[in-house]
Structure 1
Amino acid sequence: MNMNEPDAGGLGLPSHELGDGPRRRPTTIRWIGALILACIIGAGFLYINQDDTPRPTWEWKPKPYDPPVQYAFVPADSKCHGWPASSTDEEALPPLISCTEWRLRVNYKRGKGRQDIGIPYGAGCGGYRGGVSISDDDCTSDIGLNDAASQVQLSDNERRDIALRITRDGHRIAYFSKKYMQFVSWDLPTAQRKAISPRLNVQTIDDVRDLEISPDGEFFAVAFAGAQPRLLVTEFATGQTITLRGFCAILGISKGASRIAAQRTCSDLNEASAVTILKRDGAVIGEWGGASFTGDLSPDGRSIVEIDGDGDGDGDGDGDEYIITRDATTGKVTKKFKLQLLSEPSDAIGHTWLDNDEYIVQAETPERSESFGYYRVDVKLGVSHRIHDLGLNLGSVVSLGSVFIRH
């Protein structure tokens, strides 16, 4: 045997005597075996030490959004807002938020402006609106705002609806955030959100009575009752908040918050109380009582409007109804008109000022079972006109924004 030939397979034979197959080295076999064993051990180690920690939930970060919000609504067929809660409902305490069903209705031109709000939603384009054919570039979307609480659970047998407010131009909104557990303001075109209240718990959310936004979207207010009644008024530009103590309800904020209409006492029985007109720094410039129903402060802060019946007290909805305008500072009646929305009996429900001269009213059947639509009423002339851009039944709860569809 040529001792210089490499040994083959440890058999003492030269490698050329093993046949025509490839040569196999014992080091290769041992390496493959070790690799397989390492893989088996490694797989077992990974299985035993796998990370079962839940992945972070998806976090919504709003993006700039140009189309104005026409209105926000809670669907009329909402099961979440039904009462009593069904046995299949998840435990509501905790968390405090029991429903997040606010939807934003927007109308826009296809491909015009920034239209990605950062959350998925469906769109419908073209078709018919009010019996009139519309362009395929005219689109409508209902956007589910899952961060906005529409109802909170205060106890095992008590729920409370939570308001959402919109500016008249439809570009700023205010709502109670499920994520942050506080009221926030949100500017859609710039995707900015700012806090307008501290974080709240069951006790403090039970004290909330009102949420308001100034017509220009520059100031936001949250009213609290309870042991420490107060108004929190926040400026969007600076994020600074002032506290006006001793007031538990707010009837409106004028542009620039130059005037604020508030009340010192609140009653769950909806009994009227004195109205106080304040400056932004809390200085009182007027206080009066005597109104049977309180209303809403006009955008310029000079008038308060209310809807009132004829005083027959029977509650059947068959009596005449009036729209009454008062001087905000003195409470003196300046205008009073009989509402003539329809030729048939209807109940009028006040919603919001369209501008300093017109107020939006909804007409419903006396049984409050069906809507006859929304009307803009001229508070100086008493003339009313149907708002055809708003449907008859918008939802179980509605907050109006930029009501007219502009193309």
Structure 2
Amino acid sequence: MAPQIISLSIFVVVYAFIIFNVLPRSSVSLVGAFLLVILGVLEPREIVTLVNWDAIGLIFGMFILVRMLTDSGFFDFLSVKVLKLTKGVPINILIAFALLTGLLAAFMDSITVLLFMTALSITIAKKLKMSAIPFVLSQITAANIGGSATLMGDPPNIILGTGLGITLVQFVKYLAPISILILVLNTLYFVLFYKKMFKQSENVDTDYLKNLNPREHVKDLYMMIASIVSFLVAIVLLILHEKINLPVAYAGLIGASLGLVLNGKKVANIWESIDWEVLMFFTTLFIIIGSLEKTGVIASISKGIVDVSKGSSLLTKGILLWMSGILSGFIDNVPFAASMVPVVKLLAPASTVSLLSMGLIVSFGTDVGGNFTPIGASANVVGLSILSKAGVDVEWKEYLKAVVPITFINILVAGVLFSLFYK
């Protein structure tokens, strides 16, 4: 059997298993990568070279930093602080929480952000005597939008950014303004969509707000300060890494190492809370995507996009944006992002659109398109599952009715902006 057919077949089967959640995705990707070696598509020595170690290192470093911030009580402190600033007014709370979620998701894992924001929203909704659904849906969508603004915001960004050589500065310069505009538009939409519900709600009791003390939610002040300093060091290194010739992975790992040293024995058990399954999944996934590149499958896909777009930059941007957005609403956006890295690399020389522009467009579409369905992104699954455990079930019909219109508008507006300003 031809190597092209073998690599493509394994990729399709692995993807199908991931979509239908038949087995843990790390197990499926590991078996797929192993089969590629056994069947002779890849040589054992090629495996190491196919893995994007920059992406793996950065993700690993950020995992450690975010876990230290979480354990210190930083997120609880920040969310309570923002709640007090809203004066207990329901609409103000939705706006503040959505914007805070988007901001935090730009710099850290959206799952972590949704874990504490959703739990807080459920508590506050009870005080307001209204459903928590408006708050949680606005936060889910905000997390995916905010995650599109920076290199470390979402795993697809890290994969595309490190794979295509797009820096944090370029993400912030070219993509963050669009992401911020879309985040504001998205938040205002939810205010209008649920305006009747807000009219029937009550303000948070003033005594409850007065008794809230953000400092009481800090579990370890020294640990929080040390973790924030370490996180900022990582961000600064990510900004400067090109000028000082520092690999992206080193930026995350140096920040994490600093945090581990400063916090000492307080974080001795941090390794138990690191998501090793995700790291294994990413590593083996890079191997599978590498086999598609080696056997020429990726080249065929790139040629197909060139043929359809017929050299038109507008069509190329539109195809990449909407393909990324729609597909990521139904399939895991991590393998999709990994598969698009070699596609964009091969597509760039034959297109009038720059590699930078294509990479940022695909990244945005992949992140924001995850809002299309309840299973489109990890943030969606986590937020809705926490709601469900609290006795509030959001059916697909209800989710789609509330979220699909604004997601479509968000991508449409972003597409216009990409066409006007991206070359």
Query: Which TM-score applies when normalising by structure 1?
Result: 0.19
Highest CA radius of gyration, 1 or 2? 1
- With a CA cutoff of 8 Å and minimum separation of 6, indicate the structure with the bigger relative contact order: 2
The structure that is helix-richer by fraction is 2
